[in-house]
Structure 1
Amino acid sequence: MANVVIYSSNTCGYCKMAKEYLGEKGVSYEEKNISTDPTARKELMQKGYMGVPVIIVNGEEIVGFDKARLEQLL
């Protein structure tokens, strides 16, 4: 099973779509919500990203909700 982490925010529509997609696929993931978790926000900025979603699958970083790329990595 893939190790999946998704950086998201409360107001991000693409984050919601990505989480729904992963749920439909039966993929468990760790969510790091930058709206409510200052540590997650710092982690994301240290990685060089200012926007969400950022989805990390087994160490591979995907910026945005890229369904085709997720399919490849899952």
Structure 2
Amino acid sequence: MSKETLTVYISEQCRDCDRVTDLLNQLGASYQEKNISENRTYLKELQALSIFATPVVMTEDRTILGYQESKIKNLVDRMSR
């Protein structure tokens, strides 16, 4: 397994956020969840990157905005090699 960190930014009452975390859990992916509704620091982290919506799936070199199932699956597959 890669040492790359998978981070997921979510917010409350966000259907696509639930879909992303459900998919990651189904894939058995290890990830750090950052809820911008509960912690404003996480919101500021996203805003500093000019990102203003959730969900966001990030690694050190890749950012996936929204629920993009095939891209998320490819990323998790790449990380598991």
Q: With structure 1 as the length reference, what TM-score do the two structures score?
A: 0.92
Spell out, residue by residue over 1:50-71, the C-alpha distance to the aligned partner (whole angstroms, 9 max, x if none). Answer: 1000101343000001111112
2:51 aligned partner, one-letter code: Y
2:59 aligned partner, one-letter code: V
1:51 aligned partner, one-letter code: A
Aligned residue pair count = 74
Give me the identity figure in percent: 31
Residue 44 (str. 1) matches residue 50 (str. 2): no
CA–CA separation in structure 2 for the residues paired with 1:36 and 1:63? 20
**Bigger mean CA offset, 30-39 vs 54-63:** 54-63
Choose from 64, 68, 71 the match for 2:70: 68
Structure 1 residue runs without a partner (length 5+) = none
Q: Is the strand fraction higher in 1 or 2?
A: 1
After superposing on structure 2, the runs of 4+ consecutive aligned residues of structure 1 that deviate more than 4 Å are none
Structure ID, larger Rg: 2
Choose from 27, 31, 34 the match for 1:32: 34
Local SS of the residue matching 1:73: helix
Local SS of the residue matching 1:27: coil
